[in-house]
């Protein structure tokens, strides 16, 4: 199997980091440079990528809570972890 140059190995599976919800969330927080509310992050993610879920905000929250690149500042408030 050939590996594409734009694919990144994450753990044991391959994903396109730029198009994943996680990649988009991290990029939004990094570019913001300041803490953001979940609602605002979700709105920006949905402008970039359609989330096929009944509860897109829950999908974003899941990525925020499990990412090693994100830190929780307060209730519903997250920031990029440098």
Taking the C-alpha atoms of residue 52 and residue 72, their distance in angstroms, rounded to an integer, is: 25
What is the pTM assigned to this prediction? 0.75
Choose which CATH entry (3.90.25.10, 1.10.10.10, 3.40.50.880, 3.40.50.2300) describes domain 8-80: 1.10.10.10
What 3-state class would DSSP assign to 77?
A: strand
Number of separate helices (H) and strands (E) present in the chain: 3, 5
Predicted pLDDT of residue 6: 58
Bridge partners (DSSP) of residue 3 are none
Q: What is the chain's pLDDT, residue by residue, as a tens digit (82 residues)? A: 555 555 554 443 444 455 899 999 999 999 999 999 999 999 999 999 999 999 999 999 999 999 999 999 999 999 999 8
CB 49 within 8 A of CB 21: yes
3-class state of residue 10 by DSSP: strand
Residue-level pLDDT at 9: 44
């Amino acid at each position: 199997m050939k590996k594409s140059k734009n694919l990144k190995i994450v753990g044991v599976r391959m994903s396109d980091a730029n198009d994943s919800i996680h990649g988009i969330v991290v990029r939004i927080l990094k570019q913001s440079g300041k803490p953001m509310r979940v609602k605002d992050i979700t709105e920006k993610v949905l402008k970039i990528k359609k989330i096929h879920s009944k509860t897109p905000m829950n999908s974003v929250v899941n990525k925020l809570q499990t990412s090693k690149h994100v830190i929780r500042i307060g209730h519903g408030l997250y920031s990029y972890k440098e």
